[in-house]
Structure 1
Amino acid sequence: MRNKNYTSFEEIELDLKLLSLERKIAIEELKGLKLKVQEDLSPLNWLQTGIKMAKKFGTLLLVKKLLK
């Protein structure tokens, strides 16, 4: 933590307002990260990823079979 010498109550109030805004911004960023994690871990997202991987694997098998 920083040590700061204040010369007036206005400086203290300004710093308190600034810290309050920084805290609110950090809370909103955490909320956004929480939603992102929830989306990433949702079953639908896992299913879509599985389908994409299955398509790629199937395509590779098909190409391999055609080239033999």
Structure 2
Amino acid sequence: MKKKNYNSLEEINTELHLLSIQREIHLEELKLTKHQLKEDLSPANWISTALAGIKKYGVLMLLRKIIK
């Protein structure tokens, strides 16, 4: 990280405020990611994914029987 020289206390406070806001943004992004991961790993989501796969497989089997 590049060392930064400050000319006034105001510049330091501004930089600290900016870093604080960036930290809050990153924490909120982590919370959102955690929530999305919980939803993705929920059993209801597994069931819907499995049903979608079964549906595709069923359609393919039906098409094979029709084509033969």
Relative to the length of structure 2, the TM-score reads 0.95
Structure 2 unpaired stretches of 5+? none
Q: Does 2:42 align with 1:42?
A: yes
Structure 1 unpaired stretches of 5+? none
- Residue in structure 1 matched with residue 53 of structure 2 by the alignment: 53
The CA RMSD measured in Å over matched residues stands at: 0.7
Deviation at residue 57 of structure 1 after TM alignment:
0.3
Paired positions, count = 68
Identity, % of aligned pairs?
Answer: 50
Deviation at residue 2 of structure 1 after TM alignment:
2.8
Write the mapping of 1:1-40 to structure 2, written as runs, cut at 5 A: 1-40=1-40
> Runs of 4+ in structure 1 displaced over 4 angstroms?
none
Distance 1:22 1:32 in 2: 15
